[in-house]
Structure 1
Amino acid sequence: MDFLPIFLNPHKKPCLIIGGGPVALRKAELLSHTDAIVTALAPAFHPNFEPLVRSGKVVLRRKAFDSSDLKGFALVIAATDDTTLNATIAHSARKSGLWVNVVDQPELCDFIMPAIVDRSPLIIAVSSGGRAPVLARMIRARLESLIPANFGRLAELAGRFRTRVKPVVPNPKERRRFWERVLQGSVGELMLAGQTTAAAEAMEAALKSTNKDHVPLGHVALVGAGPGDPDLLTFRALRLMQEADTVVFDRLVSAEILALVRRDAEKIYAGKARSEHTLPQEQINHLLVRLAKEGKRVVRLKGGDPFIFGRGGEEIESLAAEKIPFTVVPGITAASGCASYAGIPLTHRDHAQSCLFVTGHRRGDQPNLDWNKLVVPQQTLVIYMGLLGLQEICQALIRHGMAPDMPAALIQSGTTPQQKVIIATVSTLAERAREKNAAAPTLIIIGEVVKLSEKLSWFQGQEKGEEK
């Protein structure tokens, strides 16, 4: 180990940065996030030093370096573009008993500045010992995507309760298990979702239950899995899927997305198709409540976005009624995902200034829609679950004033390698869909924006069925 990883407390310590260029600026910006007293010394400075000066974070000294300038400082950073001068600074600092960092010259450094993931008070440092700083930054970027932004708040919450937990759970091994349980359970999820008050209340409840034969409540996350492509999952969705004890998933959740769930998690299929409900909605609601009361971390995984034709509101109403902690993670809805992968912008300055989402589910033998609101100039119409009633929908739109030659598209299995895009008009789309043996899941887009598909289509993993 060439460098010992340590964390320095810079509180009110005088720190000197020698250099006035972009490299020195980056070091000044980094130190400005602390309570250090920062001075930058150079004959001239990059203009972007000025905001730091105005904020009171940095003081500038416009002069050439002299060894006497080191007096009174706790540590020194040499960040000039002159390697000879940097070596002189390092020698002078070391002679004065000061720790020195020389940018990009690790052989002259007493300490180095790592790549940092800042979730204050949680700090993660990544270093290659100066050998491969780009690699260290790549690792930092990967960690940034894996560690939620609110981890700092969670650390602060744990700090507030730390002295209270120790006397309640005196055994170190049991105390470690207690912290693992609360930080990975509802307390942690509530805090990561920004529900600070609820997280503190859950922490209080966890403390009160430590000496009782009581299973603490679990947590339910209502998670949008997006339209099919696993790369469209949010960071939070992926993290929750990999931490869940139980995942309750729908028919529209692809096998590729389900494969990202923690391997030993219980997986419960609750899919719904036309005339086939594996679990009725009421049973799903009761199931989520029961699993949470068993203390489990539950993910309710739904295709698209849970609040857009996903009945997510009904499920969390049941959770709220039972006082079950829950969070909602939005997903990319089928409308935006499928339209993007088909090269169809839902709005466009020249073609559509509004967009309307409706569901094509039938009530009785006919789709139950407000047709007058659907036939509006300069509007894109997006119809979910409309394949079964497609012919009736198109005919009704024409009867209510839509031009028969209005461009229309049907997108099957959007965003996946099996994507099929059928381009036609309102008068011919149903026939074209039958010819192409269209099958669910599908999305229908109607409007002038559909004409842009041929020019803007970019996704190569699709089969097209176009009518010119």
Structure 2
Amino acid sequence: MDYFPVFFNLKGQECLVVGAGDIAARKIELLFRAGAKITVIARDIGATVASMQTSHSLTLQQTSFAPGDLRQFRLIVSATDDTETNLLVAKTAEEQGVPVNVVDNPGLSSFIFPAIVDRSPIVIAVSSGGSAPVLARLLRAKIESVIPPAYGRLAGLAEKFRDKVKQRIKIAPQRRIFWENVFQGTITEQVFFGNEQNAEKLIKLALDDYDGSANTGEVYLIGAGPGAADLLTFRALRLLQQADVVVYDRLVSTEIIDLARRDAEKIYAGKQRQNHTLPQISINHLLADLAKAGKRVARLKGGDPFIFGRGGEEIETLMAQGIHFQVVPGITAASGCASYAGIPLTHRDHAQSCVFVTGHLKNDCVNLNWTQLALPNQTVVIYMGLIGLEQICQSLIAHGSPSELPIALIQQGTTDNQKVITGTLATLPALVAKQAIKAPTIIIIGTVVSLHDKLSWFGECR
């Protein structure tokens, strides 16, 4: 990130604004709302700033800025149209170690003003690092449309009960769960309806009824989809962001993992061919042990957890030990990658059925029902078949598939690294061998692949 986002406490702090035009007036208004004591230095005092002198308790100095004016200011804003003055303010502030913003000049600024959504005490800042302030304002407008002012009242209510909750619930993770239940349930709805007295009564009842001995551990078995973070379901995102621990696979993208809480523990449990970080049985017991310790565990699995994801094995262990869990389906790689490659898995002119199989090598051999897979008028999707690609093509030809049958290999589908290689059973292995292919990949076989050139869209949309 180009700028580290922080929030200054300016209540009662001395701040300086150099300039007194309309732009300076807007900055003065923001500083005033933050409780700052504001001094304004300018040769010409604009009408707007002059009218703010009494209402905003401004100290006005109608003079040119000089380095000696800096005194002990907590923060400085230079909002003039004079380049030399702006340079002098920035240089002096840097020498004295005082944060400075030169309006519309990020190169001279040590901090910048974001677009602000004010739902005090909730404050949301949106910044483009000075590169696209209009875009930042448009994003602020979108956020304002989904964050009603009632969230400020809700935060005020939480502040009122913060110490009482802390005294009643001593363990921090349990307090977090308590507040999450408050913010996602009936109490919040009462605040939104304007019934804050009733909301207070409900919080008191929840505290009185709280049983600290209850085991709140739970496992969320979440399908993370084929790669793109914005293909997660709403439920997947909600549960991921409330999890205390995230146990994730090799196929789960960094962008998705970054959506978890920053303070959540991250545990890598990925598997590669002949290189398993944790054996499956260890993963099963890890999930159970974490839940029994009172943790909410997000188990992230690439694609869908019930399609070659061994999700069934994991919840069998959880059920056997009486641990509560939820399963959140994800977009399986076959569907996601095919869609982004412009290859429909079924089509009335090409395929009336679709078969999913895994192409894992066992003893250097791909053991599949080749007779069934070689049948016409179907689409065959092979997961994890990159290493055995040549053997897959040869076996299908040997069992009756035409050597000219279309086939595609998709690398890292739905992501910016997506690559689609098409050919036939006879030609694709050689085509793939010429390219540096990176897992994960998926293979699609059938005449539907011939539609790729016509229906391909993802590359054109990027």
Same fold (TM over 0.5): yes
CA distance in 2, matches of 1:365, 1:387: 13
Q: 1:227 to 1:461 in 2, by over 3 A?
A: farther
Q: Please state whether the residue corresponding to 1:392 is helix, strand or coil.
A: helix
Amino acid at match of 1:315: E
Q: 1:239 to 1:141 in 2, by over 3 A?
A: farther
CA distance in 1, matches of 2:425, 2:146: 46
Alignment deviations for residues 53-93 of structure 1 (CA, whole Å, 9 cap, x no partner): xxxxxxxxxxxxxxxxxxxxxxxxxxxxxxxxxxxxxxxxx
CA shift for structure 1 position 431: 1.1
Alignment deviations for residues 111-148 of structure 1 (CA, whole Å, 9 cap, x no partner): xxxxxxxxxxxxxxxxxxxxxxxx9996698579xxxx
Aligned residue in 2 for 1:318: 317
Aligned residue in 2 for 1:299: 298
Q: 1:175 to 1:275 in 2, by over 3 A?
A: closer
Aligned residue in 1 for 2:29: none
CA shift for structure 1 position 236: 0.7
Aligned residue in 2 for 1:399: 398
- 1:174 pairs with 159, 168, 176, which one? 168
Q: Please state whether the residue corresponding to 1:408 is helix, strand or coil.
A: strand
Amino acid at match of 1:266: E
Aligned residue in 2 for 1:83: none
CA distance in 1, matches of 2:401, 2:382: 15
| 1:412 matches 2:406 | no
Contact 2:227–2:302 (8 Å) recurs in 1: yes
Aligned residue in 1 for 2:96: none
Aligned residue in 1 for 2:335: 336
CA shift for structure 1 position 182: 6.0
Aligned residue in 2 for 1:42: none
Contact 1:419–1:461 (8 Å) recurs in 2: no
Aligned residue in 1 for 2:283: 284
Q: Report the aligned-residue RMSD.
A: 3.2
CA shift for structure 1 position 427: 1.1
Amino acid at match of 1:285: N
CA distance in 2, matches of 1:404, 1:237: 42
CA distance in 2, matches of 1:245, 1:182: 14
Contact 2:166–2:175 (8 Å) recurs in 1: no
Aligned residue in 1 for 2:456: 457
Which stretches in structure 1 are left out of the alignment for 5+ residues? 1-134, 145-169, 190-205, 464-468
Which stretches in structure 2 are left out of the alignment for 5+ residues? 1-138, 149-163, 186-205
Aligned residue in 2 for 1:346: 345
Aligned residue in 2 for 1:273: 272
Contact 1:419–1:462 (8 Å) recurs in 2: no
CA shift for structure 1 position 336: 0.5
Q: Please state whether the residue corresponding to 1:404 is helix, strand or coil.
A: coil
CA distance in 1, matches of 2:277, 2:262: 23
CA distance in 2, matches of 1:232, 1:275: 30
Q: 1:171 to 1:183 in 2, by over 3 A?
A: closer
CA distance in 2, matches of 1:404, 1:229: 34
Q: Please state whether the residue corresponding to 1:438 is helix, strand or coil.
A: coil
CA distance in 2, matches of 1:406, 1:399: 13
Q: How does 1:188-227 map to 2 (within 5 A)?
A: 214=213, 216-227=215-226
Q: How does 1:62-461 map to 2 (within 5 A)?
A: 142=146, 174=168, 181=177, 184=180, 214=213, 216-460=215-459
CA distance in 1, matches of 2:165, 2:239: 30
Q: 1:142 to 1:457 in 2, by over 3 A?
A: farther
Sequence identity (%): 61
Contact 2:216–2:296 (8 Å) recurs in 1: no
Q: 1:435 to 1:180 in 2, by over 3 A?
A: closer
CA distance in 2, matches of 1:361, 1:462: 33
Aligned residue in 2 for 1:78: none
Amino acid at match of 2:322: K
Q: 1:348 to 1:140 in 2, by over 3 A?
A: farther
| TM-score, normalization by structure 1 | 0.56
Contact 2:342–2:457 (8 Å) recurs in 1: yes
Alignment deviations for residues 382-437 of structure 1 (CA, whole Å, 9 cap, x no partner): 00001111111110000000000000000001111011110100111111111112
Q: 1:462 to 1:141 in 2, by over 3 A?
A: closer
CA distance in 2, matches of 1:339, 1:381: 12
CA distance in 2, matches of 1:328, 1:357: 21
CA distance in 1, matches of 2:252, 2:140: 35
Q: Please state whether the residue corresponding to 1:362 is helix, strand or coil.
A: coil
Q: Please state whether the residue corresponding to 1:290 is helix, strand or coil.
A: helix
CA distance in 2, matches of 1:335, 1:239: 25
Q: Please state whether the residue corresponding to 2:396 is helix, strand or coil.
A: helix
CA distance in 1, matches of 2:278, 2:375: 38
CA shift for structure 1 position 295: 0.6
Amino acid at match of 2:308: F
Contact 1:409–1:421 (8 Å) recurs in 2: yes
Aligned residue in 2 for 1:89: none
